[in-house]
Chain A
Amino acid sequence: MATDVNEFVINADEVIARAKERGESELLISKKQEALDKIESLEMPKPDKTKLNRWDFFTAAQPVTDSSVYGSLEELPEAVRNLLDIEHTKNIYVQHNNTPAYLQVSDELLDKGVIIENIIEASANHPELVEKYFMTDGVRVDEHKLAAFHTAMLNGGLFVYVPKNVQIEDPVQMVVLHDDEKASLFNHVLIVADEGSELTYVENYLSGVDKSEEQVNIVSEVIAKDNAKVKYGAVDFLAEGFTGYINRRGVTGRDADIDWALGLMNDSHVIYDNTTYLIGDNSQSDLKIVVVGRGEQKMNFTSQIIHYGKDTNGHILKHGVMKDAASSIFNGVGLIKHGATRSDAQQESRVLMLSEKARGDANPILLIDEDDVTAGHAASVGRVDPIQLFYLMSRGISQKEAERLVIHGFLDPVVRALPIESVKNQLREVIEMKVLSK
């Protein structure tokens, strides 16, 4: 029965009452109210080639799940500690389900005026700053129904502000541990890198339970002001069963860079949207995505770089491995607006399929409304090359090991781009585990 599951009823009064009860800021409550006022009239997003009418994005058992906090890095669960380079970790926020569970920021950064706070507190402590950037230039509250639902249900996340000309050398890391089957993640990450600043940020989502039928509806916004440089790394590895909508968006000022390195390893059905608006002249974005799909999961990866400014460069590189009966759509869009002269839009999507039932579809799209530009795309969907396997095996390497080498090699260009060594290693381990699992 093809029931349309996007129809739902959200109790606006309950949402607002809960936000007030939890002491959320006026700013946040007003944003939630705005989302609730508009949600009924908004459309669902329409990711190309994936129909969403059977996806249940709205049923959440618990709007908020409170969990334990941690007194020190040593108290963190092992799974979290493994993601950290404990000796060198200076700036970290740990979220346990929906509870801000641990925060450490170096004095040096605090002295320089850097703000690293959970988004709910930050919206109370720095309302002008948060209001200026929260769901304005990046993702709008009324962009579509899922964005509005995200806003209304927002229950966690992080705010990072780097003041003008402050360069943060040590990475800022966020780890979100999901270990309650009933918990949904409506996380919002807002990163504002002011003029001339630099930031490396890495986030990890991980599960402590095997399965959860709840919601993941995450929005990240990165605002890189003039001449700011942001490196954004992520490893998402949540369990199966969730319905997921994950939107990471960037906006660049003049001469600004936003580089993304994303390991999208969630085991659930997820719609991923990664869009960067290259607004300022001479700004650029490099988007690298690596994906392993397994089981029966369905995923859609829409990656866009939209060029508004002159001399902007946007490069997209996506490598995916699909096994079992996993299926995925890779939509890559390079869009050059009129006036964005001398811009360069390049993209490459490669999908490797490891089983007969796996599906992969790579759709490169270039939309160009300007003459003086360069653009290119490459896409392929295929299987492990038997001649490559023969070559490796002719040196005594077993078929299994040869396949492993080819797959690792295939994914490595993205893994290498992750900025933190321990996270890189974690991603390699996750890939290994997912590829080898039966």
Chain B
Amino acid sequence: MASVLEIKDLHVEIDGKEILKGVNLTLKQGEIHAVMGPNGTGKSTLAQAIMGHPRYEVTGGEVLLDGESVLDMEVDERAQAGLFLGMQYPSEISGVTNSDFLRSAINAQREEGDEINLMQFIKKLDKNMNYLEMDLDMSTRYLNEGFSGGEKKRNEILQLMMLEPKFGILDEIDSGLDIDALKVVSKGINGLRGDDFGALIITHYQRLLNYITPDNVHVMMQGRVVKSGGKELAERLENEGYDWIKEELGIEDETIGADA
């Protein structure tokens, strides 16, 4: 049965300031949803809060994965339950090689004594790196250290492909990418598309959606989802911008705090 990720009336604060003011969204495996919206409307906060970023405090609502409360889980448990967050600004970890890190991450999801066989791991890693047109020597470099913006994003997608989560939440995975890198990243995500993968793609550029066709599109403003629709919504946003939505909903300033 397809897994379901439900976000219900989610309220989130950062440093005492409310950013999300009741977000509702349901995502099923097999679906790709895009969350769009101008800057400063709470899109990244949504992604970080679902994964459990330490700076974000959930003050209300719930996030359920197949009916189980994600918010009660530690960050690593969320990942083990099948969530993955592709970060906008991945951390650099000196002294830990990319491949050692990936192997630890894969083994963390497996039972003790059932660790991934080294040859199997290397085969899978090589295959995915080739698919993403990554230099193979990147596996022996320290995790994200000295990587260019594009390399970091590719590396996030590589992790996504290696870990095969139920749901991938991709936070501005397209920002700072040139067109070639954007195509490669899109190829990676499209390759995972299928009955046992769902994605929440956060972006404020329609550009990415030229390469990844979403099943659903949500627009966030003022810390809420204010409009949802199919892929035609993204197309209309590309052609007409956000102003028509603001007009329709009577919103003057779409950023958080503007309505307070």
Binding site for B on A (CB under 8 A): 385-388, 390-399, 401-402, 405-406, 408-413
What would 20 A/B residue contacts be, using CB atoms closer than 8 Å? A386-B54, A390-B54, A391-B91, A391-B93, A392-B93, A392-B101, A393-B76, A393-B79, A394-B76, A394-B78, A395-B84, A395-B105, A396-B109, A397-B104, A397-B105, A398-B108, A399-B74, A405-B101, A405-B104, A412-B95
Interface centre among A392, A394, A413 (most CB of B within 10 A): A394
A411 CB to closest chain B CB (Å) equals: 7
Q: Please give, as numbers and ranges, the residues of chain A lying within 8 Å of B51 by CB-CB distance.
A: 390, 394
Q: Cβ of B95 and Cβ of A395 under 8 Å apart?
A: no
Q: Cβ of B104 and Cβ of A394 under 8 Å apart?
A: no
Q: Cβ of B76 and Cβ of A413 under 8 Å apart?
A: no
B95, B105, B108: the one contacting A413 at CB < 8 Å is B95
What is the bound-complex CA distance between A386 and B48, given in angstroms? 14
Q: Cβ of B108 and Cβ of A401 under 8 Å apart?
A: yes
Given A390-B52, A392-B101, are A397 and B95 also a contact pair (CB < 8 Å)?
Answer: no
What is the bound-complex CA distance between A398 and B93, given in angstroms? 16
Question: Which residue of chain A has the shortest Cβ distance to B85 in the bound complex?
Answer: A394
B236 at the interface (CB under 8 A from A): no
Q: Cβ of B95 and Cβ of A411 under 8 Å apart?
A: yes
B163 at the interface (CB under 8 A from A): yes
Q: Please give, as numbers and ranges, the residues of chain A lying within 8 Å of B91 by CB-CB distance.
A: 385, 387-388, 390-392
Given A388-B93, A410-B94, are A395 and B74 also a contact pair (CB < 8 Å)?
Answer: no
Q: Cβ of B93 and Cβ of A405 under 8 Å apart?
A: yes
B96 at the interface (CB under 8 A from A): yes
B203 at the interface (CB under 8 A from A): no
Closest 7 CB pairs of A and B: A409-B95, A412-B95, A396-B79, A391-B91, A393-B75, A395-B105, A396-B108
B257 at the interface (CB under 8 A from A): no
Q: Please give, as numbers and ranges, the residues of chain B lying within 8 Å of A406 by CB-CB distance.
A: 93, 96
B74, B76, B93, B108: the one contacting A409 at CB < 8 Å is B93
B127 at the interface (CB under 8 A from A): no
Given A386-B54, A401-B108, A405-B104, are A394 and B95 also a contact pair (CB < 8 Å)?
Answer: no
B90 at the interface (CB under 8 A from A): yes
What is the bound-complex CA distance between A96 and B47, given in angstroms? 60
B52, B54, B74, B96: the one contacting A405 at CB < 8 Å is B96
19 additional contacts (CB under 8 A) given A394-B51, A397-B76, A406-B93? A386-B54, A388-B91, A390-B91, A392-B93, A393-B76, A394-B76, A394-B85, A395-B79, A395-B101, A396-B76, A396-B80, A399-B74, A405-B96, A405-B104, A406-B96, A409-B95, A410-B94, A410-B95, A413-B95
What is the bound-complex CA distance between A402 and B74, given in angstroms? 13
Question: Which residue of chain A has the shortest Cβ distance to B75 in the bound complex?
Answer: A393
B45 at the interface (CB under 8 A from A): no
Q: Cβ of B109 and Cβ of A391 under 8 Å apart?
A: no
Question: Which residue of chain A has the shortest Cβ distance to B145 in the bound complex?
Answer: A409
Given A395-B79, A398-B76, are A390 and B53 also a contact pair (CB < 8 Å)?
Answer: yes
Question: Which residue of chain B has the shortest Cβ distance to A350 in the bound complex?
Answer: B94
B25 at the interface (CB under 8 A from A): no
B87 at the interface (CB under 8 A from A): yes
Question: Which residue of chain B has the shortest Cβ distance to A400 in the bound complex?
Answer: B76
